[in-house]
Amino acid sequence: MHLKQLNVTLCLYFVFNFSVHAQQDAGHRFGLEVQYGFIIPHASDLEAVSQSNPAGLNLSYSRVGLAKKNWDSCNCFHYMGLNLSYHSFNNPEVLGSATSLSGTFEPILWKTNGLQLSLRSGFGVSYLSKVYDKETNPSNTFFSSPVSFLVLISPRFQLRLQENLSLNVSIHYNHISNGGQRQPNRGMNYPTLGLGINYTPQPFLFPSYSAKKTAKNRHYYLEAFGTLKGNPQGKGRLPLVGLSLGFHQRISTIQGIGLGMESQWDRSLTVSAGDFSGFTHAPYIAHHFLFGKVDFSQRIGIYVHKPKNYEPDKSFYQRYTLSYLLKNSLKIGVGLKAHGHVAENIEVRLGYQF
């Protein structure tokens, strides 16, 4: 064999092996989707401004790891990705539009050769073209900050049409608010129905793995959380900090239930710098989706103590948290606290799991 032929053969060999290993280690997917939905008026004075239908376009890229270590981190195959979306609220003078970029986590809940059911969750930022203004736009109390936060959850069905193409049908629950950075902070909730096409440049097959058996079905945890809220008496930001102590008991492969107690101190509820009256205390019950090291929990808490100037007509709240378990039992994540359909704040969380 001549040297030139040998070089060509070796190049082809390495290219072939790289493509095979790339295909074995990960799969890549690009998506294009159109969406159409409606706005939930979570207060009577929002009904008039909510009579429009958001419509938008979503571009996505996602990657699924196919190695055993990827499976072990979730006890399932899961996509990690990025979403770029544009939604017009079909009320250009008052509500405008939202352009959003979010990171996503999407475990596959069930699959056959041609059909997949998955659950995508995402967190990111949105740029809003129209926000509240006391003089020029007083009706839009949904948004008060041009740059706000986006939280989404989306059940998704994917049907394979060809080797590289699949049809995607999805339901989205989108929430945009500023996380308590500025008032008014009522936030917008708008469900949408999506229809799109997914393109897979290199078709891949899912290996067969078994879920790792856990030594413990019950875990205890301690979490600290915090954020900065807008000052109701003027400019600037004021701290909110808190602690959660609880446990969860696994009841199935991916689900758990739990109890806990939470206390927080909100500086925006105090009267003076030396005032520590801004404490709230609340026990809570929780449901957990447990995907290996990823924990998505939904908590309902009942106030046993709160300041007199804090949500006087509210006796309970919801908190949604998404956390990831690091080495040495440390957890990091984000959370969203809400009263009904009205979001209060988004916080960062750091915890330890026993």
Residue 158 near residue 181, CB atoms below 8 Å: no
For the chain, give the mean pLDDT: 87
Would you say residue 12 has pLDDT above 60? no
Whole-number percent of the chain with pLDDT over 90? 61
pLDDT recorded at residue 238: 85
Would you say residue 121 has pLDDT above 70? yes
pLDDT recorded at residue 260: 97
Q: Which of 20-24, 120-124, 207-211, 213-217 has the highest mean pLDDT?
A: 120-124
More confident residue, 229 or 174: 174
Concatenate the DSSP letters of all residues of 63-80 into one string. EEE-SHHHHHTTTS-EEE
Per-residue pLDDT reduced to its tens digit, 202-231 = 998 889 887 666 668 899 999 999 998 877
Mean pLDDT over 13-22 rounds to 41
Residue 111 near residue 79, CB atoms below 8 Å: no
pLDDT recorded at residue 33: 98
pLDDT recorded at residue 267: 86
pLDDT recorded at residue 208: 86
pLDDT recorded at residue 321: 93
Per-residue pLDDT reduced to its tens digit, 64-88 = 999 988 888 788 899 999 999 999 9
pLDDT recorded at residue 330: 95
pLDDT recorded at residue 190: 94
Beta bridge partner(s), residue 262: 244, 282
* Full set of structural domains in the chain with CATH: 22-199 (2.40.160.20), 218-353 (2.40.128)
Would you say residue 114 has pLDDT above 80? yes
Buried b (16+ CB within 10 A) or exposed e, 248-260: bebeeebebebeb
Q: Which of 121-125, 292-296, 325-329, 343-347 has the highest mean pLDDT?
A: 121-125
Per-residue pLDDT reduced to its tens digit, 311-347 = 788 899 999 999 999 988 999 999 989 888 778 888 9
CB atoms under 10 Å from CB of 111, counted, come to 14
Q: Is 16 helix (H, G, I), strand (E, B) or coil?
A: helix
| Confidence grade of residue 273 (pLDDT, cut at 50, 70, 90) | low
Per-residue pLDDT reduced to its tens digit, 134-160 = 899 999 989 989 999 999 999 999 999
Residue 154 near residue 120, CB atoms below 8 Å: yes
Whole-number percent of the chain with pLDDT over 70? 89
| Confidence grade of residue 130 (pLDDT, cut at 50, 70, 90) | very high
pLDDT recorded at residue 181: 72
Q: Is 283 exposed, middle or buried (0-12, 13-18, 19+ CB in 10 A)?
A: middle
